[in-house]
């Protein structure tokens, strides 16, 4: 930005504080949400370990049965790492130090899986069969620093026995009961398969069969991380293998519930000053719902918006708590005050105060005084907005077809974009509220009272008093309808009547129904709906209607979408066509879309391939590349070595072509010898 260094430091400090707050809040929230499932898993491991220690192992499960926890985490795979990290730490602290976590990408074959298990449990170098001769040479030369171990479960059993003997010997000098020694000797060995669906079924089957042979010497336990359904175990493993597992199912909290909790904690609160406008919020929620279901990525998107807001908005130094914002306001310079005068929301406010326009334009002290009142009003708006939003959601979330959405975030998005009371869905919701029974209405109003109870705002306290008065009136009603002594027009009908007389009578009946007096409950119910409607119209105004809202609200949805929902092909083509934009080297500057001959090899090869047709002759391509590179090296067209292909140029060209094939620009073809097929067309 153009503003002074002091303002930049202030904004950076505020951004860092909010960033750390997001991180702390989400970590605490993650621990709280995972507490039940992790406690259940810990109890399961303790129970299995205790059963084995007390000699009941044979009676409760066969000797060839491995206790296995099937942990269903959902399809939000990016969030699984945090869960497994917490689980591993808890297991090491509370149950056993022998824990190994595995991922499918590092266990393509059985020997790789076995090697990873031994390395992570024994903390030693493990020999594999292909590297055995090389390792022997290293051992003979004395260069091996760690003791190498043969890659087999027998080595793991020997290590486990030596570990348990050491622990029992170290405690032999102390007075310990035999049960305590036995407990130390029977610590389970836990192996966690983080992404079960991605493992090779054959590798998994062989590993389970091998492990089942060593259960008498090694107290093994498995934890399967499942993203889809528990039935995947039966689909991946035949009955002969799955029967060796003693499975117990554990279900984690759904990712949508997790997201609702995160939004409630970080966004739908007045204590967190940074806000998202409707479009940015919609982008983040859409990426969550239609791409990855990852709460972790949603939080990263929120942090990106936070960073962009404090970087691009010089007035974001006022995006903090009320007292801090008032202090920061007094420290604003002339440039920042001029930015306030240019804000669209402030200009709308200024138009409403015609007599004070000159003072606001020329007097900085008076401008600060007005802005102080406006900031105070903005904080009050947030303090009243969220309780009323939750009350409206409480009243409408159980209505048929959910006219204002099933989740509070859906209602929040509607309120951010327009006056919610002007929508047809809102009118429908109000009509449905006027049809609620007495018990339903009382129950919903009691929930609303619970929402308003902790709020310290004066307006919310007054609203709570009025709500409690309406509740008392509803409870005092006996539910009896008022008797009406109206003569029914049906009785006045003659046995024989003509069409005109019948039509007249029916119209009279319709009019009498309209003019029928309402019962006391219906009158009171309408009063409740009108009360709620008044609260909505007073407190659920869109933030754009409030002066200085730009200070707190980030509104660049295009930037967030570009960073989080990127298009790799477009980015790669832009980088290859304009390397200067990424490398920032003045030598690479060029005009008219051309590429400098000093550009990286892949950029030159990419530019040359754009000039070719569907099939590219590799020899012609190589010669053209060599000519461009020779010019970059400073050789003139008349020199002897100009355009000639030497070994170095040939190797560089092969590497560039290989990189382009890896990126998907070309592929090998059998249609012509020494040709490749071009796969992409068009510009960026």
* C-beta separation of 603 from 576 below 8 A: yes
Closest CA to 204 of 335, 112, 119: 112
Question: Which pLDDT value is given to residue 387?
Answer: 96
Rounded to 5°, the CA angle 290-296-301 comes to 70
User: Would you say residue 55 has pLDDT above 60?
Assistant: no
606 C-beta neighbours (distance < 10 Å), count:
25
Looking at every residue in the chain, the average pLDDT score rounds to 84
- For residue 36, what pLDDT is reported? 85
> Which bin fits 667, alpha (ψ -120 to 50), beta or left (φ > 0)?
beta
Lowest mean pLDDT among 51-65, 208-222, 577-591, 650-664: 51-65
pLDDT digits (tens, 9 = 90+) for 610-629: 989 899 999 999 999 998 88
- The percent of residues above 70 in pLDDT, for the chain, comes to 83
Q: What's the pLDDT score for residue 359?
A: 77
Which of 30-44, 442-456, 509-523, 525-539 is the least confident region? 509-523
pLDDT digits (tens, 9 = 90+) for 144-153: 334 566 788 8
Q: Which of 309, 275, 466 is nearest to 381 (CA)?
A: 275
Rounded to an integer, the average pLDDT of 142-163 is 73
What is the mean predicted confidence (pLDDT) over 259-284? 94
Q: Cα separation of 574 and 593, whole Å?
A: 11
Residue range 107-132: average pLDDT?
80
For 285-304, the DSSP string reads HHHIIIII--HHHHHHHHHH
Task: Check residue 637 and give its pLDDT.
Answer: 67
Q: What is the mean pLDDT of residues 303-321?
A: 94
pLDDT greater than 90 at residue 166: no
How high is the pLDDT of residue 350?
A: 63
Average pLDDT over residues 543-561: 94
pLDDT tens-digit profile of 173-197?
544 444 444 444 478 899 999 999 9
**Domains of the chain and CATH, by start:** 24-125+187-253 (3.40.50), 258-478+518-554 (no CATH), 568-678 (no CATH)
51 falls in which pLDDT band (50, 70, 90)? low
What would the mean pLDDT of 652-671 be, rounded to a whole number?
Answer: 92
- Report the relative pairing of strands 615-617 and 675-678 from DSSP bridges: antiparallel
Residue 566: pLDDT above 90?
no
Query: Any idea what DSSP says for residue 288?
Result: I
Rounded mean pLDDT, 154-177: 70
Angle between helices 255-266 and 408-417 (to 10 degrees): 50
334-346, pLDDT tens digit by residue?
A: 899 999 989 999 8
Are 153 and 214 in contact, with CB atoms under 8 Å apart?
yes
Please state the rounded mean pLDDT for residues 476-491. Answer: 49
Helix/strand/coil (H/E/C) assignment for every residue in 583-632: HCCHHHCCCCCCCCCCCCHHHHHHHHHCCCCCEEEHHHHHHHHHHHHHHH
CA distances to 150, 371, 466, 467 from 129, in Å: 9, 74, 80, 77
Rounded to two decimals, the pTM is 0.79
């Amino acid at each position: 930005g153009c503003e002074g260094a002091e303002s930049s430091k202030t904004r950076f400090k505020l951004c860092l504080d909010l960033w750390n707050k997001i991180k702390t809040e989400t970590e605490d929230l993650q621990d709280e949400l995972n507490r039940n499932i992790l406690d259940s898993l810990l109890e399961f491991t303790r129970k299995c370990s205790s059963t084995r220690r007390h000699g009941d192992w044979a009676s409760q499960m066969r000797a060839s049965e491995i206790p296995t926890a099937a942990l269903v985490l959902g399809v939000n795979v990016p969030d699984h790492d945090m869960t497994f990290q917490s689980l591993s730490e808890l297991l090491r602290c509370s149950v056993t130090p022998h824990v190994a976590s595995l991922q499918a990408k590092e266990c393509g074959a059985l020997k790789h899986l076995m090697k990873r298990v031994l390395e992570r449990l024994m903390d030693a170098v493990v020999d594999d069969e292909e590297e055995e001769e090389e390792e022997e040479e290293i051992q003979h030369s004395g260069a091996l620093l760690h003791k190498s171990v043969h890659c087999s479960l027998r080595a793991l059993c020997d290590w486990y026995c030596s570990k348990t003997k050491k622990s029992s010997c170290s405690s032999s000098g102390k007075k310990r009961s035999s049960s305590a020694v036995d407990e130390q000797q029977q610590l389970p060995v836990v192996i966690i398969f983080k992404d079960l669906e991605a493992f090779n079924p054959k590798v998994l089957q062989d590993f389970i069969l091998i492990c089942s042979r060593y259960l008498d010497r090694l107290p093994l336990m498995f934890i399967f991380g499942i993203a889809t359904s528990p039935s995947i175990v039966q689909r991946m493993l035949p009955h002969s293998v799955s029967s060796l597992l003693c499975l117990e199912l554990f279900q984690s909290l759904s990712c949508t519930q997790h997201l609702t909790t995160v939004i409630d904690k970080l966004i739908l609160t007045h204590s967190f000053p940074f806000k998202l406008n409707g479009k940015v919020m919609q982008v983040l929620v859409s990426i969550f719902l239609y791409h990855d279901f990852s709460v972790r990525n949603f939080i990263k998107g929120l942090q990106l918006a936070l960073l962009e807001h404090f970087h691009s908005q010089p007035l974001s130094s006022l995006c903090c708590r009320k007292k801090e914002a008032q202090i920061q306001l007094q420290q604003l310079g002339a440039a920042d005050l001029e930015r306030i005068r240019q804000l669209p929301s402030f200009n709308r406010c200024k138009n409403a105060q015609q007599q004070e326009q000159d003072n606001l334009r020329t007097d900085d002290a008076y401008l600060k005084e007005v802005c102080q009142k406006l900031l105070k009003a903005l904080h009050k708006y947030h303090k009243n907005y969220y309780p009323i939003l939750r009350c409206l959601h409480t009243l409408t979330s159980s209505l048929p077809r959910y006219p204002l959405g099933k989740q509070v975030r859906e209602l929040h998005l509607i309120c951010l974009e327009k006056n919610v009371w002007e929508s047809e869905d809102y009118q429908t919701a109000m009509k449905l509220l006027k049809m609620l029974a007495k018990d339903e209405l009382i129950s919903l109003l009691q929930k609303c009272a619970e929402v308003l109870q902790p709020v310290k705002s004066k307006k919310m306290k007054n609203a709570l008093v009025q709500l409690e008065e309406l509740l008392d009136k509803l409870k005092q009603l006996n539910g009896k309808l008022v008797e009406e002594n109206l003569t029914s027009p049906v009785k006045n009908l003659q046995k024989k009547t003509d069409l005109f007389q019948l039509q007249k009578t029916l119209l009279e009946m319709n009019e009498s129904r309209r003019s029928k007096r309402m019962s006391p409950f219906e009158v009171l119910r309408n009063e409740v709906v009108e009360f709620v409607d008044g609260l909505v119209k007073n407190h659920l105004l869109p933030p754009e209607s409030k002066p200085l809202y730009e200070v707190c609200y980030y509104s660049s949805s295009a930037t967030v979408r570009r960073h989080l929902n990127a298009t790799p092909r477009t980015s790669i083509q832009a980088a290859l066509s304009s390397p200067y934009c990424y490398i920032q080297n003045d030598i690479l500057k060029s005009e008219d879309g051309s590429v400098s001959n000093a550009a990286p090899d892949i950029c030159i090869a990419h530019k040359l391939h754009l000039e070719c047709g569907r099939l590219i002759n590799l020899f012609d391509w190589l010669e053209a590349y060599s000519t461009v590179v020779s010019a970059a090296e400073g050789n003139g067209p008349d020199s002897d070595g100009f355009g000639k292909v030497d070994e170095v140029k040939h190797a560089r060209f092969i590497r560039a072509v290989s990189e382009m094939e890896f990126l998907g620009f070309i592929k090998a073809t059998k249609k012509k010898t020494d040709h490749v097929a071009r796969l992409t067309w068009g510009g960026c």
